[in-house]
Structure 1
Amino acid sequence: MVRDRRRERYRSAGYWTGVPFGDLLHEWATRHAGRTALVDGERRWTYRQLDDDAVDRVCAGLRRLGLRRGDRVVVQLPNRAEFVEVWFALQRLGAVPVHAMPGHRYAEIAHLAARRGRPATWSPTATSGSTTGRSPPGSGPSGVPSTSHHHVVVVGDPGDSGFTA
């Protein structure tokens, strides 16, 4: 009962519109194409650039990895532009971001990955503030256990990750 009233109040106030976040970004890019949407240090994106150049590109890369609607993806990124790009790309794809704090280490990430089916994990590189420490034997580049249906995508130098957005 309380949930129904709260839900209705949010809908009448316009907070819940029924439009998925991935579609909202398209809408904002149409309405505010040339306006600044995202700033990260010296880097800037307009709504159009964020929508077309960044999010669509990352979403296409996720599809090439085999990620699909409903897949859960552990995202361990600090507050930076790549977090926004990945998050909106996951929304557009229909995948579910499972947020991990940048300070989480092997035990926490392994737990999240094991509980969520772990199709992919995003993490920063050591040069961009990684806090995962050394990777234990049998793990991927971020210290997450490697499995045949698991990808670890590292922000920064792509190395041999195979992911290109």
Structure 2
Amino acid sequence: MTRFTLAAVTALLLAAAPVVAQTTPPQAPIQRTTPQQTTAPAAPATSPTPGSEEWLRLRGESYSAAPEAEQDPTEVAETIRLNAGITARNEAAERRETEGAAAWQAEDARWRAEVARLETQRAQWEADAAAAEAARLRYERERAAWAAEVAACKRSPRSCVTRTPGY
């Protein structure tokens, strides 16, 4: 093993030791039982409320706030300053989130208005195209009728007056 690898493994073990020490629950000693000892130990009648002093004590933890007179004023001031910084960051994040949501809603409304305008424009184009097609078909019918009238006049021995289609 190289010296670097050995140093890295040692550093990792030293860094992980407190975590392992805090997360490993205490274990009761292993007891050998005989066939006569198969009864379960009696469970406590009531379990403590999670977070209570008794609950923490059963888990090997304790917490008790120092009386106001015993607290370090510089530590209290630092805690207040840190809490104020956290509050300011949270308020700034909430403000950015609100502004972002408002900007998204405005952009969404602009997009919806643009889509509605384009849909109206498309519907108008389709109506204009349908009107143009109807006019073309009417022209072709009138032109065919005029051509038939001109052909009939040409076959007829007498003279006739024809009108130009569309006039």
TM-score of the aligned structures, taking structure 2 as reference length = 0.18
- More helix by proportion, 1 or 2? 2
Bigger RCO of structures 1 and 2 (CA < 8 A, at least 6 apart): 1
Q: Which has the higher strand share?
A: 1
TM-score (norm 1): 0.19
